[in-house]
Amino acid sequence: MRSFLKSVEEELQKLANPDKANILAGFFKTGKGEYGEGDIFLGIPVPEQRKIAKKYSALPLKDIQKLLSSKIHEYRLVALLILIRQYGKVDKSGEKELFDFYLANTRHVNNWDLVDLSAPNIMGGYLLDKDRAILYKLVKSFDLWEKRLAIMATFTFIRNNQFEDTFRIAEILLHDQHDLIQKAVGWMLREIGKRNQVKEEEFLEKYCSEMPRTMLRYAVERFDEQKRRLYLKQRRVTLRHARP
C-alpha cells in the first residue's frame, strides 16, 4: 500500500514546471552566497500546494518531518501548510505539541515565504496568551530566518491590538543590515499604524532618524504623501548632520 507521504511527493512532482522553477530560483536568491543558497524549486503555484495540503491534512508528524527536511522548497511549504491546518483543529495539548515541533524545526523554515506563512499562524498563535521569552532568544540568533521569525510572529499580536513586543523586537533589530529583516520590521510597524497610527508615530519619532531607509520606507508606506516625505526627509537631515 502506497504511503500518504509518497502520494504527496508524487503529486507535487507531477505538477513540476521547470521554466517556473528557474524563475522562482532567481526570485528567491538560490545562487551561491545568496540567502536561499541550495534551495530547490519545482515551480508549483501556491494555490496548487494548498490543495495538496488540504487533501493530506491528516499527514502524521513523522511524515511532515520528512517533508520539512527536504531541500525541495515546495515540500517544505506543503509541510507547513499541513501543520497550520492541523494547528487550527487541535486542543491546547495538541497546540503545544505542534508548537514544540515547529520550534524544533526552525532550521527548515529557511526562506522568507516559509517564515511569513507559518510564524504568525503557529508561533504567534501559540504565544498569544503565553510568555514570549522565546522570541527574544530567536531575535538574537545569528540566523537570518530565526530573526525574521521573531518579528513576524508578532503579526498575530498586532492583529489582537498587542503592540509592545513588536516595538521591543523592532528596537533590537533597528540596525540590522539585512534587507529582509529591515522589510519585515517596517512591514510590522506599518501593520501597527493601520490599527493605531499614533502608536506607530510615537515609535518613529524616537527612531526614524537612525532606521535604515528600507525599514522606514516600509513603515511609512501608508501615510499620506506629505507625512511620508516628512519622515524620510527627517532621516536624511539627521544623517547629513551626523557626518564628520
CATH of residue 192's domain is: 1.25.10.90
Average pLDDT over all residues of the chain: 94
Residue 228: C-alpha distances to residues 65, 170, 186, 215, 217 (Å): 45, 19, 13, 13, 8
Give the tens place of pLDDT for each residue, 149-181. 999 999 999 999 999 999 999 999 999 999 999
Overall number of domains in the chain: 1
Domain of 236? 134-244
In a domain, 230, yes or no: yes
> pLDDT value at position 1?
42
Q: 58: Cβ–Cβ under 8 A, 6 or more apart, which residues?
A: 4, 86
pLDDT mean over 214-239 = 86
In a domain, 41, yes or no: no
In a domain, 217, yes or no: yes
Half-sphere exposure of 213 (CA within 13 A, CB side): 7
For the purposes of burial, counting CB atoms within 10 Å of the CB of 97, is it exposed (0-12), middle (13-18) or buried (19 or more)?
Answer: middle
In a domain, 203, yes or no: yes
Residue 236: pLDDT band by 50, 70, 90 thresholds? low
Q: How many CB atoms lie within 10 A of CB 67?
A: 24
Is residue 141 over pLDDT 90?
Answer: yes
In a domain, 48, yes or no: no
| 3-state secondary structure at position 241 | helix
When mean pLDDT is compared across 142-146, 178-182, 234-238, the lowest value belongs to 234-238
| 3-state secondary structure at position 88 | coil
- Return the C-alpha cell found at 135: 522570541
Q: Please say whether the dihedral angle defined by the alpha carbons of residues 71, 65, 106 and 56, taken in this order, is positive or negative.
A: positive
Helical (H) or strand (E) element with 101: helix 92-103
- Return the C-alpha cell found at 143: 540566523
Ramachandran area for residue 91 (φ above 0: left; ψ -120 to 50: alpha; else beta): beta
In a domain, 19, yes or no: no
Rounded percentage of the chain residues whose pLDDT exceeds 70: 95
> pLDDT value at position 233?
85
In a domain, 193, yes or no: yes
In a domain, 178, yes or no: yes
